[in-house]
Amino acid sequence: MNNFVYDIPTKVYFGENQLGKLAQELLKFGRRVLMTYGGGSIKKIGLYDRVVGELKAAGIELYELSGIEPNPRIESVREGARMCKEHNIDVLLAVGGGSTLDATKFMAAGACVDHDPWEFFGADAKPIECALPIVTILTLAATGSEMDTGGVISNLATGDKLGRLAPALLPRVSFLDPTLTYSVSRFQTACGAADMMSHIIEVYFNTQKDLFMLDCFMEGMLKTIVKYAPIALREPENYEARANLMWTSSWAINGFINGGKRKAWSCHPMEHELSAIYDITHGLGLAILTPRWMEYCLDETTVDKYVQYGVNVFGIDASQDKMTIARESIRLTAEFLFDTLGLQRTFGQVGIKREDYAVMAQKACRYGDIKGFKTLTPADVERIFEMCEQ
Ligand code: NZQ
Ligand code: ZN
């Protein structure tokens, strides 16, 4: 196993009726709070009133920024950073899904610098040395933003959707109440499951053979998604299903499973180019790409990983020959994503056009070839895009 540093100090309040601790946690950082949220789902589920009531009762000076978009835009980040400076904010409270959380992270960082927050992104990105403290209330299990150091922001003016990691962006406290996800639509529940599945697959499909403990952990999380996502679709208010999915989303990307792995992620850089141009939901793009990428990477040098995955996650009969098991593991992954979760399966169904493949492939490789499970050049990425047509 490689050397690694594991340092995830986010304090998590997990479960129902934990919001009574919200005000006291915020007050540890100060009295002036900027609360951020999206397009209104938190009002529909009564969460907005609960949170505002709680904070006002505690004497907190509350400012608000609403309307953060799915695939959040740099304009929202700029506005949040500006408000933090104008009102001398002590702590940011992000209430929502990954988009709200991600945008809030860069508002918190933008509040500490004089330059445009977009300069945190790209090849010549400015350092993120500090950020205001961030507290989150998660309402959608998917991205893991509640417990990770990353975020992804879109810039329509440049046609880019770029991610950035920095320890300063890690939420200090996150409230994870599975009942807040009961109202998440079938589609977003399915996309969330596909996203967390991809976060694990990006790490699990690895040629290193010495990560047995972490492999077992990842297989357990993959089995959790395969078991509970269909239940959450059938019974949106099934606490056990929502709770298992929510905690899996956090652990899929909080750094624990990485274990010093040095290979890059593959489907995420490709997907971010799809949602940059077509504004599709991240998990949907991943669902379409993942089985095709798996198929593209399968050969005699990689087959063992597919066998391990197919046997341990999907229970495929281990006595068959390796290639048969590997192909069956890809078929079962596609069946789960497209038939069980009901996500669309081709680029054509979501309106992605061939004329954009070349530019999306070049941008997916903007930092060089993708050195993942198998190294992908722009030409490889274009080939995977073509496979997404069938
Ligand atoms: O805006 P509102 O009204 O809140 O509605 C949202 C939005 O329309 C709705 N929603 C959220 N919670 C709800 C709810 N609807 C009903 N009931 C609830 N309880 O769901 C829609 C999607 O929300 P969004 O926050 O966009 O979804 P998600 O959590 O999947 O976040 C996606 C973004 O995160 C990025 C993605 O690229 C994308 O931009 N990612 C962030 C990562 C990270 N921080 O590490 C990693 C991921 O790989 C990903 O790239
Ligand atoms: Zn993702």
Looking at residue 362, what is its pLDDT? 98
Mean pLDDT of 38-67: 98
Ligand 1 pocket, Cβ-based, cut-off 6 angstroms? 38-42, 45, 70-71, 96-100, 102, 139-140, 142-145, 148, 150-152, 180-181, 183-184, 188, 192, 195, 253, 268, 282-283
pLDDT classification of 129: cutoffs 50, 70, 90: very high
pLDDT classification of 92: cutoffs 50, 70, 90: very high
Mean pLDDT of 278-289: 98
Residue of the nearest CA to atom 26 in ligand 1? 70
Q: How far is CA 80 from CA 35, 38, 91, 97, 385, in A?
A: 10, 13, 12, 17, 36
Looking at residue 263, what is its pLDDT? 87
Looking at residue 210, what is its pLDDT? 81
CA distance 99 to 85: 22
How far is the centre of ligand 2, averaged over its atoms, from the C-alpha of 88 (Å)? Answer: 33
How far is the centre of ligand 1, averaged over its atoms, from the C-alpha of 374 (Å)? Answer: 29
Pocket test for ligand 1, best of 282, 289, 341, 343 (most atoms within 8 A of CB): 282
How far is the centre of ligand 1, averaged over its atoms, from the C-alpha of 300 (Å)? Answer: 38
DSSP result, 284-351: HHHHHHHHHHHHHH-STTTHHHHHHHHHHHH---TTS-HHHHHHHHHHHHHIIIIIIS----SHHHHT
Across 41-50, 199-208, 261-270, which has the greatest mean pLDDT? 41-50
Looking at residue 208, what is its pLDDT? 81
Whether residue 59 is predicted with pLDDT greater than 90 in this model: the reply is: yes
Pocket test for ligand 1, best of 8, 41, 138 (most atoms within 8 A of CB): 41
Mean pLDDT of 103-120: 98
Residue of the nearest CA to atom 28 in ligand 1? 98
Encoded tokens for 344: 């669309």
Looking at residue 260, what is its pLDDT? 80
Strand pairing class (134-138; 91-96)? parallel
How far is the centre of ligand 1, averaged over its atoms, from the C-alpha of 282 (Å)? Answer: 9
Within a 10 A sphere around the Cβ of 122, how many other Cβ atoms? 15
CA distance 216 to 197: 15
Pocket test for ligand 1, best of 35, 37, 69, 102 (most atoms within 8 A of CB): 102
How far is the centre of ligand 2, averaged over its atoms, from the C-alpha of 294 (Å)? Answer: 16
Residues 6+ apart with CB under 8 A from 83: 34, 63, 65, 89, 107
Looking at residue 223, what is its pLDDT? 98
CA distance 26 to 28: 5
> Do residues 217 and 259 make contact, with C-beta atoms less than 8 angstroms apart?
no
Mean pLDDT of 9-22: 96
DSSP result, 21-77: GHHHHHHTT-SEEEEEE-SSHHHHTTHHHHHHHHHHHTT-EEEEE--PPSS-BHHHH
From first CA to last CA, the distance across the chain in angstroms is 39
CA distance 142 to 150: 13
Whether residue 367 is predicted with pLDDT greater than 90 in this model: the reply is: yes
How far is the centre of ligand 2, averaged over its atoms, from the C-alpha of 252 (Å)? Answer: 10
Q: How far is CA 108 from CA 29, 112, 147, 277, 377, in A?
A: 13, 7, 16, 26, 35
Cα 382 to chain centroid, rounded:
24
For 153-164, write each residue's pLDDT tens digit: 999 999 999 999
> Do residues 175 and 19 make contact, with C-beta atoms less than 8 angstroms apart?
yes
Residues pairing with 92 in the sheet: 34, 134
How far is the centre of ligand 1, averaged over its atoms, from the C-alpha of 358 (Å)? Answer: 28
CA distance 47 to 51: 6
- State the chain's mean pLDDT as an integer: 97
Residue of the nearest CA to atom 46 in ligand 1? 143
Looking at residue 32, what is its pLDDT? 98
pLDDT classification of 142: cutoffs 50, 70, 90: very high
Encoded tokens for 135: 């507290």
Mean pLDDT of 293-314: 98
| Amino acid of residue 49 | D
For 191-233, write each residue's pLDDT tens digit: 999 999 999 999 999 988 888 999 999 999 999 999 999 999 9
For 172-195, write each residue's pLDDT tens digit: 999 999 999 999 999 999 999 999
Whether residue 261 is predicted with pLDDT greater than 90 in this model: the reply is: no
- Residues of the chain with pLDDT > 90: what percent? 95
pLDDT classification of 259: cutoffs 50, 70, 90: confident
Ligand nearest to the CA of 195: 2
Residues 6+ apart with CB under 8 A from 232: 189, 193, 238, 241, 242, 245
Is the sign of the CA dihedral 321, 325, 327, 331 positive or negative?
A: positive
DSSP state of 112: T
Looking at residue 207, what is its pLDDT? 84
Whether residue 118 is predicted with pLDDT greater than 90 in this model: the reply is: yes
CA distance 273 to 251: 25
How far is the centre of ligand 1, averaged over its atoms, from the C-alpha of 100 (Å)? Answer: 7
For 233-242, write each residue's pLDDT tens digit: 999 999 999 9
